[in-house]
Amino acid sequence: MSSPDGVEALVVGPGAMGCLHAALLAEGGVKVGLLDHRSERAATIERQGIIVEREGGSVVVPIRCSAQASDFFPARLAIILVKAYDTEAAAEHVLDALGEGASVLTLQNGLGNYERIAGHVPPEQVLAGTTSSGATLLGVGKVREAGRGMIRFGSPFGQQERAEQTAEVLTGAGLECEVSESVEQILWEKAIINAAINPLTALTGLRNGQLLDDPDLQGTLAAITEEASRVAVAAGMEVRQDMVAVVEQVCRQTAANRSSMLQDLSAGRRTETDYIGGEIARRAREQRMSAPLCSALSALVKAAERKETMTS
């Protein structure tokens, strides 16, 4: 299955976002591969393709999928879309696929991902950002597209030209993207949004938009946003004054979405709370501050995880 000329883009992780982005890139004409860590699941996806459900029907996108990174050598771009707690394992796994000077872009949730990747890949090759697209995993290699959003990213290590070259690949495939020099701002803004929305939806079972239907929940959403924003400012970030309005607008724009944390908790999977609200609380302690809401919600999500594990 190995290809002497490799792939233009290798998506790492066959979850909802990994499958969605691999499919979108393939539909956009990019020579793309999908790297799994489970060989049986990889074989299933290789055989069936990625099935994407959209309004009006579904489409099957043929895809090369393997658990052997070397099958994709030399990949020119790797896009890491695994859960934050699997970042280091994914960074190690992808090494055998990377061509000389290949870029590695993380679009994961949470804080600290690019730093962990840079422990395995030369830092100048690492790019980091966010995607506002949404998807729900329906089964192996099968996703429901919940909305096409913007990819915002850049180089945390000042390699602007590398970021621009990567943007050309993405935009050439029809993906909307924006290169920024303020990578930390992008990551913190997404972390604040996720820290506010995800635990509330996970613990209540509500969809994003429903958080605004209850005045008490809407007030809690605002309080978490303000707390996380204060931590970001203490950590040296410039945070938008209207962050509460931004979070509420995200709830409206993704009103029908079940957040990734809700999906994970419902499926009995580990959540990323340690890398979102839990990480914000940890960074607050570094600044000799407290973040009681982020701390409490992260603890409650982890307790819910344990309950789901014991009852499943």
Q: Is the pLDDT of residue 248 over 90?
A: yes
Q: Is the pLDDT of residue 243 over 90?
A: yes
- Distance spanning both ends of the chain, measured CA to CA: 37
**198 has pLDDT over 60:** yes
Q: Which is it for strands 134-139 and 142-147: parallel, antiparallel or unpaired?
A: antiparallel
Range of the domain at 94: 9-181
Of 103, 75, 99, 78, the closest CA to residue 90 belongs to 78
Res 1: pLDDT: 40
DSSP 50: E
Query: Is 274 found in the same domain as 172?
Result: no
Q: Active-site positions?
A: 190
What would the pLDDT profile of 77-133 be if each residue is shown by its tens digit?
Answer: 999 999 999 999 999 999 999 999 999 999 999 999 999 999 999 999 999 999 999
Residue 85 lies in a domain: yes
Average pLDDT of the residues in 135-147: 92
Determine, yes or no, domain membership for 3.
Answer: no
We report the CATH number of the domain holding residue 167 as: 3.40.50.720
Decide if pLDDT at 73 tops 70.
yes
Final residue of a structural domain among 166, 181, 196: 181
143 and 265 inside one domain: no
Helix segments in the chain, DSSP class H: 16-27, 39-48, 87-94, 113-117, 160-172, 183-204, 215-234, 243-253, 260-266, 277-286, 292-311
pLDDT in tens, 154-178: 999 999 999 999 999 999 999 999 9
Question: 190 and 108, same structural domain?
Answer: no
Q: Of 181, 197, 230, which closes a domain?
A: 181
For residues 194 and 170, membership in a common domain is answered with no
Q: Do 175 and 246 have their domain in common?
A: no
32 and 90: one domain? yes
Identify the pLDDT of residue 308: 72
Percent of the chain with pLDDT over 70: 97
Cβ neighbours of residue 202 under 8 Å, at least 6 residues apart?
A: 259, 261, 262, 264, 265, 271, 273, 301, 304
Residue 2 has pLDDT above 70, yes or no: no
> Is residue 1 situated within a structural domain?
no
Residues 276 and 129 in one domain: no
Q: How far apart are CA 41 and CA 32, in angstroms?
A: 18
Burial of 256 (0-12, 13-18, 19+ CB in 10 A): exposed
Residue 250 lies in a domain: yes
Residues 164 and 221 in one domain: no
In the predicted model, what is the mean pLDDT of the chain?
95
Write down the residue that tokens 């099958």 correspond to. 71
Q: How many domains does the chain have?
A: 2
Over range 250-271, report the average pLDDT: 93
How many residues are given for the chain? 312
* pTM of the complete model beyond 0.85: yes
pLDDT top residue among 311 and 253? 253
Same domain? For 52 and 164 the reply is: yes
- Structure token digits, residue 102: 């290949």
Residue 147 has a pLDDT of 81
CATH number at residue 243: 1.10.1040.10
In a domain, 4, yes or no: no
167 and 279 fall within a common domain: no
213 within some domain: yes
* pLDDT per residue as tens digits for the range 19-68: 999 999 999 999 999 999 999 999 999 999 999 999 889 999 999 999 99
Same domain for 192 and 155: no
Is there a domain that residue 81 lies in?
Answer: yes
Residue at a domain's end among 156, 181, 206: 181
Q: In this model, does residue 311 exceed pLDDT 70?
A: no
Structural domain contains residue 2: no
Q: 47-72: buried (b, 16+ CB within 10 Å) or exposed (e) per residue?
A: ebbbbbbeeeeeeebebbbbbbbebb
110/156 same-domain check: yes
Averaged pLDDT, 195-220: 97
SS3 202: helix
Please tell me which residue, 4 or 174, carries the higher pLDDT value: 174
